[in-house]
Amino acid sequence: MLNATEAYLALNLLPKIGPIRVRRLMERFASPQSILSASIRELSLVPGIGSEMASQIFGWEDRIDLVEEKRRIAEHGIRLLTLDDSTYPEALRQIHDPPFLLYMKGTITPADAAAVAVVGSRRTTHYGREQAKKLSFQLAKAGFTIVSGLARGIDTAAHEASLAAGGRTLAVLGSGIGNVYPPENQSLADRIAEHGAVLSEFPVLYVPDKQSFPLRNRIVAGLCQGLLVVEAPAWSGALITANQALEQGRSVFAVPGPIDRPTSEGCHRLIQQGATLVCSAEDVVEELGLAINTLPLDYGEGKTQGTAENSSSGERASLHNKAESPPQTPVRQIELSDLERRMLDRLEQGNATIDDLAAAGGTHAGLASAALLQLEMKRLVRQLPGKTFAKAG
């Protein structure tokens, strides 16, 4: 006899059933177990099901391998969340078509209710990456959970920056958790699971397709209170996510870019349509009114100083990031880890790739990437085209 979670899992493994059909079925039947044990006639009477879908549900045991999927779930250390689970994110529960089952690696906490999604193009410019890093770092420092889709480009920059800030981040996949896409972000996904959660509504080994990413995007929008588009051309999928956020009643923000670049067209269109123009993290915080930590954010040194608690004036500290770049601070005045020092020593010899720097630091690419982001935040390292790094200044 299946329990409720196993029954939801079986339904999720059936093709084309989806959350809206499951909701209609649940309105007719008392439990997911009752759905799987119903007759074809009973199932076909539910609006939107029909005889073909009814036959598929009725014959579910012959169509899926529930035992094998449960084995994969255990192998990857995945937990299943259903709409009946008390830890299911409340904001996501309220959207029109919430996933009835989520695969989760990591944890979701009550603090994740204060979340900002950061999305944008996979093909980024240096400007776009820098803005995504800066804003995500600042928002994470302010206590917001950063939500994104683990894609190349802006998504990756947002996740990396939130981790570098010591904050929490949620990654929503358009693939199965056991088949991370893009594959080069597997180590990033592992780190996210330690400081947040990796989420998917797809089976463990699901291969992404054109339909899975828009489905993923509605979850990204559903998990947040506000969605920030950093860089997006007119055809970007980030605009789909922004539209979904608007439909779900979320605030939408956009970062302006150079007016003569196609990579800015999507953000400028959103601003023309009423999205809040963002120049600093303070613009997001003031709009949402959800700041948890009143921390001044010095992006230049990658750490905070003088919180509201220890300020002599006792006034609320500002989140404003000055438009002017902070002056270069000598290395000796900035606190560095041993790994960061070894990597800087390597850059003294000339530009280097992340693999070169990982080897110089005696570590793997994942930790090297996190250390590099810290160095970028401290304005000691800059990224060049081709994922090459150079010493700043």
- pTM comes to 0.75
pLDDT averaged over every residue in the chain:
85
Q: Kindly state the tokens that stand for 295.
A: 């921390």
Tens of pLDDT along 196-239? 999 999 999 999 998 899 899 999 999 999 999 999 888 888 88
- Displacement of CA 280 from its chain's centroid (Å): 20
Least confident of 97-106, 167-176, 289-298, 360-369: 289-298
Give start and end residues of each alpha helix (H) in the chain: 4-13, 18-28, 32-37, 40-44, 50-58, 60-63, 66-75, 90-93, 126-141, 154-164, 186-194, 212-222, 237-247, 265-272, 281-288, 338-347, 354-361, 365-377
Q: How confident is the model at residue 173 (pLDDT cuts 50, 70, 90)?
A: very high
Cβ atoms of 325 and 360 closer than 8 Å: no
DSSP state of 158: H
**147/225 Cα distance (integer angstroms):** 10
Q: Which of 340, 356, 364 is nearest to 389 (CA)?
A: 356
CA separation for the pair 358, 371 (Å, rounded): 10
- pLDDT tops 60 at residue 315: no
Structural domains in the chain plus CATH codes: 1-64 (1.10.150.20), 105-288 (3.40.50.450), 331-391 (1.10.10.10)
Q: Residue 328 carries which side chain, given as an amino acid letter?
A: Q
